[in-house]
Amino acid sequence: MAEVIDLKRRKSKERRIAEGRARRRAQAVASSLSCGMCPRRCAHCGLGVEYTAPPPVDAPYPFCEVCQEEYEAFRRWEKDGQGEAFWHTDEWGEAWRAWLAHMRAGEAFRQSPAFLKLMEEHLE
Ligand SMILES: [Zn+2]
C-alpha cells in the first residue's frame, strides 16, 4: 500500500514539474513574440518612441525617427538599388528583409489556433 502511495506522489510531483516546464516554455514563446509589439517602443531598435504626430502610414511597425528613415531608405533601395549611405549594402538590405519576414512570421503565428491554444492552456 505504501508503494502505491509513493508511486502516486512521484507521478503527481512529475506532473507538476512537467506543467511548470510547459508554463515556462509558453511564457518564453509569448514574450519572444511580444517583442516589437509595444506601441511606445521602436519595433526595430527598442528605443522609447514619443509620437508628436501620428506615425507615418507606411510604417508597418512603430519606429523611432531614425529607424523610420532607415526603413524608408530600405524601401527606396529595394526599388532602385541605390544606397544612400555607405552601409546600405546587400547585407544591410538582407538584414531588413529578414527582420520584416521575422516580424510577419511572428504575426502569423500569434494569429494561429495553435498559439491561442498555447496561451489559453498555459498562461492563466
Ligand atoms: Zn529605432
- Give pLDDT, residue 28: 85
Task: Give the DSSP H/E element, type plus range, for residue 88.
Answer: none
CA of residue 118 relative to chain centroid, distance: 16
Residues around ion ligand 1, judged by CB within 5 A, are 42, 44-45, 64, 67
CA 104 – ligand 1 centroid, Å: 18
- The region that residue 61 occupies, defined by phi over 0 for left and psi between -120 and 50 for alpha, beta otherwise, is beta
- The region that residue 46 occupies, defined by phi over 0 for left and psi between -120 and 50 for alpha, beta otherwise, is left
- Give pLDDT, residue 77: 96
CA 120 – ligand 1 centroid, Å: 32
pTM of this structure: 0.77
CA 76 – ligand 1 centroid, Å: 18
- Give pLDDT, residue 14: 93
- Give pLDDT, residue 55: 64
pLDDT tens-place values along the chain, 124 residues long: 677 778 888 889 999 998 888 888 888 888 877 766 777 889 999 888 876 666 667 788 889 989 999 999 999 999 998 899 999 999 999 999 999 999 999 999 999 999 988 888 876 6
